Amino acid sequence: MHRPTLLDRLFGSLTRGRRRRRRLVPAVRPLEDRQLLSGASAVMSQTATFPNLESSPTTSSQEILYFSSAIGTLTEVDLVTSGSFQSEFYAENLGNSSSTITGTTSGNLSINAPSGAIPVTIPSVTETFNAAPFDGTVNYSGSSGKDFAPVTSSSTPQTMVLTSPADLAAFTGHFQMPLSVSGHATGSASSTNGDLSDGFNTQTSATITVIYHYIPNLPSLNPPPSTSPSTPPASAPVTANGSAPSGSSASSGSPAPSGSPASSGSSGTSALPGAGSLVSTPSTQHKKHGSVKVGASSSKGGHHVLVGHSHPRSGAQPHVKTHSIHQD
């Protein structure tokens, strides 16, 4: 039977009654209902307005931007055009008899785009009044004349869709694309007796909106190809006598540096496998600070290699430490 420990008694009351935390389990969700960016279409629109064409002839020319192929592939161009005018009609009957006077204002415009001229027709406005015989004063008022209040007429926006390669190429380019409008509202008046004085004050405007539908050039979502690091050359195997086999890079005719493990010759002493990189062959090396003697002896139980390290002291004989490596 398990007896509660001191820690169980101290912390048991703290953990009792707590709800166990719910562990979140990662899951892989399908992407069938996700909308990817590749192949998505984008829209860019520009609007040019030509106000008061009668009093400001310089506004009959505007500029917008060409579509640049650097941002994507153009697939469609929509041209939305409209026009409007405001007209004030006035007339005076100059005849000796009464007359019915009629005034009509109409607007026929043409917006010139790279794909060609686009006609814009503004609905006409007709105004009529019955005029008495001429009262002797041309003031467009009284019983023989009238000055109508300004009226406005606007056309319904018309959309032209361009998808042919020739039209798309006409809207593709660099910098600014010129647009212009020709025409404005005009008025005409008539009288039943054919004797009148009339006039029209008009203000005409036009608008064109160019909409580019294109597929943007999005950056690739694929990771860049990884370049594998260069593989270092494999080290040559070492034989039992500490030398590389024939044909390997270690056995080439290039001399090894003096004092390196590869420069030690293979004397009659047998060394441990792979020990050629650790000890030299039995020899006596003379240096400025003393001498080091390295010897190898064999016994029945195995090989003993003695490695000497010289640590000269000032005014003292060189002291040699030996380490024994034994292999069964």
Do residue 157 and residue 299 come from a single domain?
Answer: no
Which of the two residues, 229 and 78, has the higher pLDDT score? 78
Judge if 54 and 193 occupy the same domain: yes
Which amino acid appears at position 272 of this protein?
L
Q: Count up the domains in the chain and report the number.
A: 2
What is the percentage of the chain residues whose pLDDT exceeds 70? 55
Residue at 94 is within a domain: yes
| pLDDT band at residue 275 using 50, 70 and 90 as cut-offs | very low
pLDDT confidence of residue 202: 95
Q: What is the mean pLDDT of the chain?
A: 75
* pLDDT for the residue numbered 156: 96
Number of H helices, E strands in the chain: 2, 15
Please check whether residues 285 and 212 belong to one and the same domain: no
pLDDT mean over 18-41: 63
pTM above threshold 0.95: no
What's the rounded Cα separation, in Å, for the pair 115 and 118? 9
Shared-domain flag, residues 179 and 295? no
Last residue of a domain, one of 216, 251, 268: 216
More confident residue, 278 or 14: 14
179 and 302: one domain? no
Q: What is the pLDDT of residue 56?
A: 77
Domain boundary among 197, 216, 235: 216
**Do both 204 and 289 map to the same domain?**
no
Single out the residue in 181, 216, 251 at which a domain terminates.
216
Q: Which residue has the higher pLDDT, 165 or 227?
A: 165
- Say what the pLDDT of residue 5 is: 72
Q: Which residue has the higher pLDDT, 14 or 286?
A: 14
What pLDDT shows up at residue 29? 65
In tens, the pLDDT along 51-69 reads 989 887 677 899 999 999 9
Structure-model confidence comparison of residues 279 and 102, the more confident one: 102
Q: Would you state the pLDDT for residue 82?
A: 97
Q: What is the Cα–Cα distance from 321 to 12, expressed in whole angstroms?
A: 63
Residue 10 lies in a domain: no
Is 28 within the bounds of a domain?
Answer: no
Residue carrying the six token digits 């009668």: 54
Domain that holds residue 313: 280-328
Listed in sequence order, the DSSP H helices in the chain are 6-15, 165-170
pLDDT at 300: 45
Q: What is the pLDDT of residue 40?
A: 79
Could you tell me how far CA 168 lies from the centroid of its own chain?
23
CA distances from 180 to 107, 111, 112, 205 (A): 16, 6, 5, 12
Asked whether residue 167 falls in the same domain as residue 79, the answer is yes
Do residues 294 and 280 make contact, with C-beta atoms less than 8 angstroms apart? yes
Q: What is the pLDDT of residue 215?
A: 95
Q: pLDDT by residue (tens digit) across 78-131?
A: 999 999 999 999 999 999 999 999 999 999 999 999 999 999 999 999 999 999
Q: Is residue 20 part of a domain?
A: no
